[in-house]
């Protein structure tokens, strides 16, 4: 836990430079636009500790697997997001002394992430040897309007001395990943171009042959007049640089504008890259920095109009929720169905930038509420496109049929390598099926079933069918040897959540089949033929549905996390000496495993997902049993607890859980923000507000709202898209108001009453007391 | 499986050179003497595939742990046996062409391991370019009489041409371990000496500062006359070499005798190493090769007198059992209580040469029967000396008291790093307690309890006390989250074997305490004070003993391997398509884990260890249940099944299991002999014969024999020491004869009847039918 950032509603602000915080800030102040992302590394040389990170979405490296002890079935590689060409680089030397904030005395340092308009700004005065002062103001962004463009405006003013400023503006692909398994560099040189005012660099990955061309145009003015003539053009393998010598007079501002395009072979033929990159960057330079920045602000204004959450009376909470929304929008725009959402987005290397079940379980609702329908739909299509790989994955693990989606993937292939997770954390398959339900339930887009969804559902159901088996001793089907979402248990039998989501998948698949039969029988017939779906299979699913074993404790009226859970010593976290926390840093793995403590409570996860199938008392009994043993050492845990707590009327608990998720990175809660921000859990924070405090659900095609106002806030409001409409929900002053920002009438079930909100109309109700 | 070796009762013989088999042969033809060991690498240069291996007992390297995903509690390093100075090196160049069996045409190649006299011999004719033939006969051994001495006699005869032989005799420490985690070299140079006829090299390990000095004296004759004058002395960092140019005439034999001493800082002060090494090697050279070899043969004659097993009518079985006995005697002599028995002995790097529970569970009985009492005693003292480290290990894992011995160790510290083994395979602690029981039961040396054993037992019992907990739902004590000896289950609850061995430890500790009370109350009081042993503790042990939970299936009358075992699909191995075997190569880890298949059956291991506590019917029911599901993919598995099968009268099964263990390496059964031989499982083979077919046990201080003769053999005999006596047991011709080779009378219970064998007497009985 580290709190060094200033509270502000629209900005993240760091005042004063402390090298100890720099890597954390590099994560937090990251910028991105879905196509690329950039950690808040300094443009100028910095010799202190830093994690360099320039990332291109979808460009990855299959880094050969490294393990202590090989297990049969491990994947050959771990797909890693690549640290790519450093395109921000801009070195300054003032009369022979290089500007380096690790060496200079730094005054008046302010770093600001302007979330409203989407740029990073940094101002400081550096005092070089002999007291020579340079005032710097640097602004940069990656454009949401022109996805391949990044732009930097870097202003330098000698405060108290004249001299010569030597500028080196460069592109450098001689970079590496800090987390490279075998300490290799991942890039090979392809070509360089370097001419007065323009340079270009093409590199390719050592494996998989991703090509990336970075091109730059630089415009320098001194005292408002263009600086002409490059002193030197330096070209080396994987590096191009341009050197300018600029006479610098005291008080006179030198402005460097660096425009960069980053284009990749994912979007263009290799032969087109150079010309495309050049064209893009020339267009950007012609447009100029100010106009590009105006466009940027305009796109962000649109994003905020769709997705902003306003919290009144709590600046820390307001800043936090906007930070989370900002980062989510920076990470995934939904424009490219080949992409997905990595746990660290573009803010770090860790977890490889790959896709986890986080997408379906936590991120999907955010995009359902805040983006056009095609955007969450693309997240689902991504999995459809990986279906063949998921089937191959199941075959590799010995299954005769069905599909097992990977735990971690970049291209559909598994790349995780801990047996207890890779092979056993198969509940992920259920989340992928649930994502389809969630999307269709929210949007009403039943066409998705016939187009993509049904095939995925059938293959997942087939996997479950083979993965369970009948055991005569119980006269039931069981599922042995799994790891549930609670990763503080490994290799358990009959994890309730996994058993339940498996059966639910089969139930939903059968339901979809029935609906398709009515909606589009010809398409269903085509699909059944394509899939070779036999009646014996669906009959088997029905049998499994009827005879699945669910561990439970009838005396307590709860579901059991897994077989044997009640044999554990059940001691609430509150009775544990806090010196033992966090368990994952203080306890050896076996001690965690055999304890009752829960990383994230998967019974509660199941009751959240399938909330429409369980009554409030069941939820309450299970919440009351599991919540006290949950240590929330997954960033994905508190949001679900917060939402359930809201539903159950546990207001203080709900707010406590909200706080654990909302400022996770801003306050470096888990002491790991330097590795990158927890992007996917940010979606969970959003859920805590909208589904938790807002009580938003969709049931039977109706938008349900059951809001309550946390005692610490005076009011809050959020937007949500729903089936073509956009609604604003405001909660405060004892009232809840729903405003329809679109023309079409919308049905809502607010505080239990069915109402209609007319096009461009609004309705207001008195805020009910929270349920007791 | 690969069968290329000739059958012979006393020798391992490879005829013809096939580079494909070379690495396997390098393992099988290894030589050792407890102090050092040497794979059967060629003396001369060899450019083909080879695993170089020269090992010094007790000299190891703490190689930084390498894992894919770090778990809290993992050790910092894995201790590895070190590939040390290549002392056998001897390069030959004949008129400018280097002798290299990967390049030359090789004729009449014969490699022989003479087990009776303890040396390795190799003869071949190499045809060099232009048809020039060299005849070579090379003999080498490491001396059992002079543990620091190795000697080589290398005879070369030009068959059909005259020329000049350039000899390079060297010591080379610029070597590395193939399994180095970070591809480092582990040795640093210290000093070199090089003078006519003598050279010395001292190196030290980069960590832990083990110093090793290797010294050589070389004597070369041509046609019987000494070759004088060294052409060149080459000294480099970590390498010394002497070059001789020898005129070589057709048909005239050149004999190179290379004497080497290897002395280490484990035995001498660093300052003494050079002089000691020089003295040793000069003494050896003065003695000469023939005399050294005579001494070697004499020591081996003594070993065979103590430990030989004779099998008649089955040369393959005879060769196999002698090979196993030979390798065990090469690996551990018991002279040095700081040493123990690595799973690969001196035959390879794998498993780090470290100590596992194999020692207590499988090796101890061999040394109890075939060596003086002090030798198995030293194996136990080894653990006593590690008690403080085992207590530290328990603290590291969060235990407030007690000792947890490591899974793998070199110096008492844990160095294994798979959580499911390192942290959970705690049954090893029980084996260490059982070793004490086994030793005292066999030898009657109850003084061991007071001297060393009781402290170890108390600390292990304390560990178990803390590791179990009471669960009200069962009104029992349970033990959650363990891995039993059957490593094809991980993280299970209530593994029967572990629960049982834990309670047995407490029972035995209380029994020892009671006996000590009678034998030496003062010592017991001292120990109780030293240990701070309180009455509440022993009372707690009694409570746990009374209330331990053991999973069982009453309808089948069997113990359950762990909770939930009967929920598995129970399909015998015989019904499994053989294409699935071995499972560990064909199935992914999760599939193995959730299957019923057993690597080694730990319920049966428990019934073997505690055979005196269970009746024959109980053993039979459990054997009948578990044996059919056991795949024996641990080299340690078949021996226990073989012994139990003998006891139960399953003669064919017993012989089948014997075959699986006896020729494991000679026939490369598991396709991994190139990594080294399975030394510890060789002790299991010995047990199959002596405890299985011989039916040897010790009960109530009496030697019990219940022999039967496998149908494939005409007779067999073995020796066993017992409480100062040495007995020879011969089985064949329908009779069993016990001959007492010592003066003292011995009581035996033979085929159920108590008899006495007079000093130097013998008794013969008709061999009973096997029990039905």
Eight-state DSSP code of residue B125: E
Q: What is the pLDDT of residue B18?
A: 96
For testing contact with chain B, the best of A492, A494, A553, A589 (most B CBs within 10 A) = A589
The pLDDT mean for chain B works out to 95
Digit-coded pLDDT (tens) for B440-462: 999 999 999 999 999 999 999 99
Which residue, among B446, B438, B457, B466, has the nearest Cα to B363 in the 3D structure? B438
Interval B425-433 mean pLDDT: 98
Interval A170-193 mean pLDDT: 94
Helix (H, G, I), strand (E, B) or coil at A2: coil
CB < 8 Å to B429, chain A: none
Give the gap in angstroms from C-alpha B180 to the nearest C-alpha of chain A: 12
Interval B106-135 mean pLDDT: 97
Query: Residue A696 pLDDT more than 50?
Result: yes
Peptide bond into A462 cis (omega under 30): no
DSSP B10-23: SEEEEES--HHHHH
Digit-coded pLDDT (tens) for B3-49: 899 999 999 999 999 999 999 999 999 999 999 999 999 999 999 99
CA distance A427 to A500: 10
Which residue, among B733, B585, B592, B573, has the nearest Cα to B653 in the 3D structure? B573
Is any Cβ of chain B less than 8 angstroms from the Cβ of A490? yes
> In the structure, what pLDDT confidence band is assigned to residue A771 with cuts at 50, 70 and 90?
very low
> In the structure, what pLDDT confidence band is assigned to residue B69 with cuts at 50, 70 and 90?
confident
Q: What is the pLDDT of residue A769?
A: 67
The pLDDT mean for chain A works out to 95
Q: What is the pLDDT of residue A117?
A: 98
- Helix locations, A288-362, DSSP H: 289-307, 315-331, 358
Residue in A424, A569, A590 nearest the CB of B419: A590
* A-B Cβ pairs (cutoff 8 Å, strict): 120
Which residue, among A82, A129, A122, has the nearest Cα to A103 in the 3D structure? A129
Give the gap in angstroms from C-alpha A428 to the nearest C-alpha of chain B: 16
SS (H, E, C) B596-659: CCECCCHHHHHHHHCHHHCCHHHHHHHHHHHHHHECCCCCCHHHHHHHHHHHHCCHHHHHHHHH
CB < 8 Å to A423, chain B: 588-591
pLDDT > 70 in chain B, percent: 99
Interval B52-63 mean pLDDT: 95
Give the gap in angstroms from C-alpha B528 to the nearest C-alpha of chain A: 29
Q: What is the pLDDT of residue A544?
A: 98
> In the structure, what pLDDT confidence band is assigned to residue A350 with cuts at 50, 70 and 90?
confident
Interval B59-78 mean pLDDT: 89
Residue B487 known to be catalytic? yes
Comparing A203-207, B182-186, B187-191, the range with the smallest average pLDDT is B182-186
Interval A621-641 mean pLDDT: 96
Digit-coded pLDDT (tens) for A308-325: 999 999 999 999 999 999
Helix (H, G, I), strand (E, B) or coil at A181: coil
pLDDT > 90 in chain B, percent: 92
Query: Residue A511 pLDDT more than 90?
Result: yes
Digit-coded pLDDT (tens) for B719-763: 999 999 999 999 999 999 999 999 999 999 999 999 999 999 999
Comparing A553-557, A664-668, B87-91, B97-101, the range with the smallest average pLDDT is A664-668
CA distance B206 to B187: 6
Query: Residue A610 pLDDT more than 90?
Result: yes
Interface contact flag, B66 A68, Cβ < 8 Å: yes
Query: Residue B625 pLDDT more than 60?
Result: yes
Q: What is the pLDDT of residue B769?
A: 67
CB contact set of B454 (below 8 Å; sequence gap of 6+): B509, B512, B513, B516, B524, B527
> In the structure, what pLDDT confidence band is assigned to residue A669 with cuts at 50, 70 and 90?
confident
Interface contact flag, B593 A68, Cβ < 8 Å: no
> In the structure, what pLDDT confidence band is assigned to residue B337 with cuts at 50, 70 and 90?
confident
Interval A431-460 mean pLDDT: 98
- CA B180 to the chain's CA centroid: 22
Interface contact flag, A585 B72, Cβ < 8 Å: yes
Eight-state DSSP code of residue B448: H
CA distance A66 to A82: 17
> In the structure, what pLDDT confidence band is assigned to residue A68 with cuts at 50, 70 and 90?
confident
Is any Cβ of chain A less than 8 angstroms from the Cβ of B756? no
Q: What is the pLDDT of residue A772?
A: 34
The torsion angle over the Cα atoms of residues B361, B362, B363 and B368, rounded to 10 degrees, is: 80
Is any Cβ of chain A less than 8 angstroms from the Cβ of B71? yes
Interval A735-752 mean pLDDT: 96
> What are the backbone angles phi and psi of residue A176, rounded to the nearest 5°?
-140, 165
Interval B556-585 mean pLDDT: 96
Is any Cβ of chain A less than 8 angstroms from the Cβ of B397? yes
In terms of Cβ atoms closer than 10 Å to its own Cβ (0-12, 13-18, 19+), residue A752 is exposed
Interval B459-484 mean pLDDT: 98
Query: Residue B506 pLDDT more than 70?
Result: yes
Query: Residue B67 pLDDT more than 90?
Result: no
CB < 8 Å to A569, chain B: 469, 471
Query: Residue B772 pLDDT more than 70?
Result: no
Which residue, among A254, A256, A274, has the nearest Cα to A264 in the 3D structure? A274
Helix (H, G, I), strand (E, B) or coil at A80: strand
Q: What is the pLDDT of residue B247?
A: 94
Digit-coded pLDDT (tens) for A251-279: 999 999 999 999 999 999 999 999 999 99
Interface contact flag, A593 B396, Cβ < 8 Å: no
Give the gap in angstroms from C-alpha B178 to the nearest C-alpha of chain A: 15
CA distance B116 to B296: 10
Interval A721-730 mean pLDDT: 96
Interface contact flag, B474 A423, Cβ < 8 Å: no
Query: Residue A85 pLDDT more than 90?
Result: yes
For testing contact with chain A, the best of B594, B597, B672 (most A CBs within 10 A) = B594
Q: What is the pLDDT of residue B478?
A: 98
> In the structure, what pLDDT confidence band is assigned to residue B771 with cuts at 50, 70 and 90?
very low
Query: Residue B335 pLDDT more than 50?
Result: yes
pLDDT > 70 in chain A, percent: 99
Provide the CB-side half-sphere exposure for B339 (13 A, CA): 24
Is any Cβ of chain B less than 8 angstroms from the Cβ of A469? yes
> In the structure, what pLDDT confidence band is assigned to residue A764 with cuts at 50, 70 and 90?
very high
Interval A414-423 mean pLDDT: 93
What is the reported pTM? 0.94
Digit-coded pLDDT (tens) for B534-548: 999 999 999 999 999
Query: Residue A229 pLDDT more than 90?
Result: no
CB < 8 Å to A590, chain B: 73, 397, 419, 423-424, 481
CA distance A363 to A329: 11
């Amino acid at each position: 836990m580290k709190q060094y950032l200033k509270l502000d509603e629209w900005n993240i602000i760091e005042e004063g430079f402390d090298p100890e915080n720099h890597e954390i800030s590099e994560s937090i102040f990251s910028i991105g636009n879905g196509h690329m992302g950039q950690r808040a590394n300094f443009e100028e040389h910095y010799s202190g500790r830093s994690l360099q990170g320039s990332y291109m979405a979808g460009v990855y490296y299959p880094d050969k697997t490294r393990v202590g002890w090989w297990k049969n079935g491990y994947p050959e590689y771990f797909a890693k997001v690549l640290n790519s060409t450093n395109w921000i680089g801009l070195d300054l030397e003032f009369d022979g002394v290089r500007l380096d904030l690790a060496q200079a005395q730094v005054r008046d340092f302010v770093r600001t992430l302007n979330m409203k308009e989407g740029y990073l700004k940094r101002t400081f005065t550096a005092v070089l040897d002999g007291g020579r002062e340079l005032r710097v103001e640097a602004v940069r962004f990656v454009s949401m309007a022109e996805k391949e463009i990044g732009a930097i405006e870097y202003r330098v003013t000698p405060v108290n001395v004249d001299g010569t400023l030597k500028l080196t503006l460069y592109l450098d692909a001689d970079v590496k990943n800090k987390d490279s398994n075998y300490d290799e560099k991942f890039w090979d040189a392809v070509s360089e171009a370097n001419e007065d005012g323009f340079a270009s660099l093409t590199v390719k990955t050592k494996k998989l042959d991703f090509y990336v061309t970075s091109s730059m145009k630089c415009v320098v003015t001194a005292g408002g007049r263009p600086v002409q003539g490059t002193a030197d053009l330096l070209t080396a393998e994987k590096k191009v640089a341009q050197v300018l010598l600029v006479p610098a007079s005291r008080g006179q501002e030198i402005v460097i504008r660096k425009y960069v395009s980053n284009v990749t072979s994912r979007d263009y033929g290799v032969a087109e890259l150079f010309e495309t990159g050049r064209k893009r960057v020339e267009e950007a330079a012609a447009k100029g920095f100010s106009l590009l920045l105006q466009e940027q602000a305009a796109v962000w204004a649109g994003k905020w109009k769709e997705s902003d959450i306003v919290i009144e009376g709590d600046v820390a909470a307001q800043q936090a929720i906007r930070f989370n929304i900002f980062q989510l929008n920076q990470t995934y725009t939904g424009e490219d169905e080949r992409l997905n959402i990595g746990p660290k987005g573009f803010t770090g290397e860790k977890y490889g930038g790959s896709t986890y079940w986080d997408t379906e379980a936590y991120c999907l609702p955010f995009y359902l509420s805040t983006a056009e329908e095609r955007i969450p739909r693309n997240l689902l299509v991504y999995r459809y496109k990986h279906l063949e790989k998921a089937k191959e994955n199941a075959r590799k693990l010995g299954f005769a049929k069905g599909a097992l989606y990977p735990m971690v993937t970049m291209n559909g292939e598994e790349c995780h390598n801990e047996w207890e997770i890779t092979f056993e954390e198969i509940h992920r398959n259920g989340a992928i099926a649930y994502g389809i339900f969630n999307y269709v339930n929210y949007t009403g887009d039943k066409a998705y079933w016939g187009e993509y969804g049904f095939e995925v559902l059938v293959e997942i159901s087939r996997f479950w069918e083979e993965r369970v088996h009948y055991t005569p001793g119980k006269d039931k089907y069981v599922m042995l040897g799994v790891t549930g979402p609670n990763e503080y248990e490994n290799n358990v039998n009959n994890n309730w959540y996994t058993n339940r989501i498996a059966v639910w998948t089969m139930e939903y698949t059968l339901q979809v089949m029935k609906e398709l039969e009515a909606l589009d029988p010809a398409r269903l017939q085509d699909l059944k033929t394509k899939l070779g779906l036999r009646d014996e299979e669906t009959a088997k699913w029905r049998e499994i549905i009827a005879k699945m074993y669910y561990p439970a404790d009838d005396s307590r009226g709860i579901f059991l996390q897994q077989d044997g859970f009640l044999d554990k010593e059940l001691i609430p976290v509150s009775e544990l000496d806090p010196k033992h926390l966090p368990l994952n840093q203080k306890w050896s793995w076996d001690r965690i495993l055999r304890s009752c403590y829960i990383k994230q409570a998967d019974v509660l996860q199941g009751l959240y997902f399938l909330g429409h199938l369980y009554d409030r008392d069941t939820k309450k009994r299970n919440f009351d049993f599991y919540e006290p043993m949950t240590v929330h050492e997954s960033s994905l845990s508190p949001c679900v607890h917060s939402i359930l707590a809201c539903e159950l009327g546990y207001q203080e608990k709900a707010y406590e859980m909200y706080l654990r998720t909302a400022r996770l990175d801003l306050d470096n809660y888990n002491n790991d923000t330097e590795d990158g921000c927890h992007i996917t859990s940010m979606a969970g924070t959003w859920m805590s507000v909208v589904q938790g405090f807002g009580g938003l659900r969709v049931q039977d095609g109706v938008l349900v709202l059951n809001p309550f106002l946390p005692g610490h806030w005076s009011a809050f409001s959020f937007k949500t898209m729903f089936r073509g409409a956009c609604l604003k929900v405001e909660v405060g002053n004892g009232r809840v108001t729903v405003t329809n920002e679109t023309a079409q009438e919308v049905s809502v079930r607010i505080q239990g009453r069915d109402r209609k909100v007319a096009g461009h109309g609004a309705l207001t109700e008195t805020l009910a007391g929270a349920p007791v």
